[in-house]
């Protein structure tokens, strides 16, 4: 039988976000859970829903599925939920559904650290060189102060789940092609916690945490480069049962500069000079990321010549090392000459202007 499309199974669009997928899954799981469902074929449907959710709720699996279809996400039916770790409490339901598998049961009441989050931040070139403090506004999840994370209106509203008598699991007889089997599944009423909340906390609606917009100061160190990241401890997704939040990683993207080009800790810059400066030599005030410095250009400098300004590059973000600035000289030919300048140039052309070694070599090879 051909496998159905995972998005179709959950009744969500291909662009559905995490939230849509979760809520679609919750709705369908309630409807088709074999313990409670009156639908015919509930078990097969439920299995299908579980599988679709396991894949679509996992970013990596989902992108594989989007690219390669069912082939991309080899689904391990008989061998347990191999490769599908990381969907918390549902893991249990999962492995028991596919028979065998590990029966490793995570205590749903144990504190669990939240997931890490990642955000991108774009900063200016010079800010990356010098370092900068930035304030960002972020939605940060915090434990609800009203219920202290329990999600209940009051302590007395937390009672033992009547469906599993607090065990967090229910047992079920099933007829399979191998005969009758007894399987253990996580209690669908309490999601394995063994507890039931009679009245939910008004502040957090039973979530145990609330999302608050916070301004956070981010210290961006001097020398940071594109794709390096800064960790903000415990500013990620909320933990469960009093566990700490995950971390937030800020991935840096540095805007390019008009004149400075960065190569690791070195800077390369093209410096336009005049014909006269190239011919006669000059002391040129050259911009660097640390301000202007004097660069001595010797007489007879050719276009494309490179000069090194030691220690005028970027400070390494991890060590005390500072890179260099490489200056590539570009001789700019004058475009408009006034009559005085024209006279000078024509006078110059009548002199032995092409006396450089390069010209001698050139005319030596191509003499007729």
d(CA 27, CA 37): 12
> Taking Cα atoms as reference points, which of 171, 163, 148, 173 lies closest to residue 193?
163
Rounded CA gap, 84 and 9, in Å?
A: 18
Q: Is residue 147 within the footprint of Zn ion (CB under 5 A)?
A: yes
Stretch touching Zn ion by CB under 5 A, among 36-44, 197-205, 328-336, 360-368: 197-205
Minimum distance from residue 20 beta carbon to Zn ion (Å)? 24
Shortest Å, Cβ 180 to Zn ion: 24
Q: What angle do CA 214, 218, 223 make, to 5 degrees?
A: 165
Token output for 219? 């210290």
**Where does 147-300 show beta strands of DSSP type E?**
158-160, 169-176, 179-186, 195-197, 209-220, 229-232, 248-254, 260-263, 266-274, 282-288, 291-297
Contact between 204 and Zn ion per CB under 5 A: yes
Do 274 and 334 contact (CB within 8 A), yes or no?
yes
Q: Is residue 316 near Zn ion by the rule CB under 5 A?
A: no
Structure tokens given for 286: 């050259």
CA distance 143 to 239: 9
How many other CB atoms are there within 10 angstroms of residue 94's CB atom? 22
> Which stretch, 73-81, 137-145, 258-266, 346-354, contacts Zn ion (CB under 5 A)?
137-145
Q: Which range touches Zn ion (CB under 5 A), out of 69-77, 181-189, 346-354, 359-367?
A: 181-189
Q: Which is nearer to Zn ion, 151 or 323 (CB)?
A: 151
Among 187, 197, 224, 289, binds Zn ion (CB under 5 A): 187
The answer to the question of residue 190 lying near Zn ion (CB under 5 A) is yes
> Smaller CB distance to Zn ion: residue 203 or 241?
203
Alpha-carbon 15 to chain mean position = 19
Calpha distance 241→113 (Å, rounded): 9
CB of 246 to Zn ion, least distance (A): 20
Decide if residue 240 touches Zn ion (CB under 5 A). Answer: no
Stretch of 138-146, 236-244, 264-272, 333-341 contacting Zn ion, by CB under 5 A: 138-146
Q: Which residue has the tokens 């690791």?
A: 264
Q: Which two tokens stand for residue 322?
A: 């500072």
| Choices 34-42, 164-172, 176-184, 317-325; region in contact with Zn ion by CB under 5 A | 164-172
With CB under 5 A as the contact rule, which of the stretches 63-71, 89-97, 159-167, 345-353 interacts with Zn ion? 159-167
Query: Can you name the residues that pair with 209 across neighbouring β-strands?
Result: 143
189 part of the interface to Zn ion, by CB under 5 A: yes
Q: Which stretch binds Zn ion (CB under 5 A): 57-65, 84-92, 199-207, 319-327?
A: 199-207
Contact residue for Zn ion among 130, 146, 274, 305 (CB under 5 A): 146
Among 56, 201, 220, 240, binds Zn ion (CB under 5 A): 201
Of the candidates 12, 164, 269, 278, which one interacts with Zn ion according to CB under 5 A? 164
User: Going along the chain, which residue ranges are E strands?
Assistant: 117-123, 132-143, 158-160, 169-176, 179-186, 195-197, 209-220, 229-232, 248-254, 260-263, 266-274, 282-288, 291-297, 306-309, 325-332
User: Applying CB under 5 A, which of residues 52, 140, 161, 273 lies at the interface with Zn ion?
Assistant: 161
Q: How many CB atoms lie within 10 A of CB 22?
A: 15
Please, what is the minimum distance in Å from the beta carbon of residue 147 to Zn ion?
Answer: 3
CB of 46 to Zn ion, least distance (A): 17
Q: Would you count residue 152 as binding Zn ion (CB under 5 A)?
A: no
DSSP string, 118-139: EEEEEE-HHHHHH-EEEEEEEE
Pick 63 or 154: Cβ nearer Zn ion: 154
- To the nearest whole angstrom, how small is the minimum distance from the Cβ of residue 93 to Zn ion? 13
- Count of residues engaged in binding Zn ion, rule: CB under 5 A: 12
What is the binding site for Zn ion (CB under 5 A)? 144, 146-147, 161, 163-164, 187, 189-190, 201, 203-204
């Amino acid at each position: 039988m051909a496998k159905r499309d995972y998005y179709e199974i959950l009744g969500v669009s291909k662009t559905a976000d995490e939230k849509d997928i979760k809520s679609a899954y919750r709705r369908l799981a309630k409807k088709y859970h074999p313990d409670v469902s009156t639908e015919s074929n509930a078990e097969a449907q439920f299995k299908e829903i579980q599988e679709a959710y396991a894949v679509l709720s996992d970013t990596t699996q989902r992108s594989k599925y989007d690219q390669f279809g069912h082939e991309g996400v080899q689904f391990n039916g008989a061998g347990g939920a191999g490769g599908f770790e990381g969907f918390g409490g549902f893991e249990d339901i999962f492995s028991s559904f596919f028979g065998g598998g590990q029966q490793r049961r995570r205590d749903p009441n144990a504190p669990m650290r939240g997931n890490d989050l990642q955000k991108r931040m774009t900063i200016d070139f010079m800010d990356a060189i010098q370092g900068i403090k930035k304030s960002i506004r972020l939605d940060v999840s915090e434990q609800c102060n009203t219920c202290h994370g329990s999600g209940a209106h009051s302590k007395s509203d937390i009672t033992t789940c009547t469906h599993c008598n607090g065990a967090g699991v229910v047992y079920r007889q099933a007829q399979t092609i191998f005969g009758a089997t007894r399987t253990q599944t996580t209690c669908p009423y309490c999601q394995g916690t063994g507890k039931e909340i009679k009245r939910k906390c008004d502040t957090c609606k039973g979530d145990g945490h609330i999302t608050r917009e916070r301004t956070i100061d981010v210290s961006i160190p001097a020398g940071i480069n594109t794709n390096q990241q800064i960790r903000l401890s415990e500013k990620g997704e909320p933990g469960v049962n009093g566990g700490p939040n995950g971390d937030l990683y800020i991935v840096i993207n540095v805007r390019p500069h008009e004149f400075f080009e960065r190569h690791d800790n070195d800077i390369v810059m093209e410096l336009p000079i005049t014909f006269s400066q190239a011919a006669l030599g000059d002391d040129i005030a050259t911009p660097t990321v640390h301000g202007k410095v004097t660069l001595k250009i010797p007489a007879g400098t050719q276009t494309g010549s490179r000069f090194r300004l030691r220690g005028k590059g970027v400070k390494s973000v991890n060590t005390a090392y500072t890179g260099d600035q490489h200056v590539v000289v570009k001789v700019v030919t004058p475009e408009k000459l006034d009559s005085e300048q024209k006279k000078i140039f024509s006078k110059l052309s009548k002199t032995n202007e092409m006396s450089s070694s390069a010209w001698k070599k050139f005319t030596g090879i191509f003499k007729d």
